[in-house]
Structure 1
């Protein structure tokens, strides 16, 4: 049976993971909205699109890290 400290630590880890996942979903949603507004043929929008692509990669990598952390426990 887990100790009180172990249960508390697990609860904090779960809450942290849930907050991170919520943040990632929100970022991904905003990236999708901005992608729909941008056009690759305009210079400024092209730069914005590059940033959005970087954000998508970040979200994908961070989500993979979370899954890996979850599976290692």
Structure 2
């Protein structure tokens, strides 16, 4: 039973990775089209992506800090 559950989770994980790769390829293609058709909009897009990445990094750091502070210290 456990093996079947493990196989199911592996298959689900593989499907998620496949979808992420597929969407990344599409985003890269759309970015290329945007760069060729409207360089100004492309620069705005890149700036927005950088801002979102910085915001995400800050949020991840905050969550990790909270998790570490909430764990009992092992002395």
CA contact 1:31–1:55 (8 Å) conserved in 2? no
The runs of 4+ residues in structure 1 deviating greater than 6 Å are: none
TM-score (norm 2): 0.55
Consecutive unaligned residues of structure 1, counting only runs of 5 or more, are 40-45, 59-73
TM-score (norm 1): 0.56
User: RMSD across aligned C-alpha pairs, in angstroms?
Assistant: 2.4
Relative contact order, higher structure (CA 8 A, sep 6+): 1
Count of residues in correspondence between the two structures:
50
Task: Please say which structure displays the higher CA radius of gyration.
Answer: 2
Consecutive unaligned residues of structure 2, counting only runs of 5 or more, are 54-75
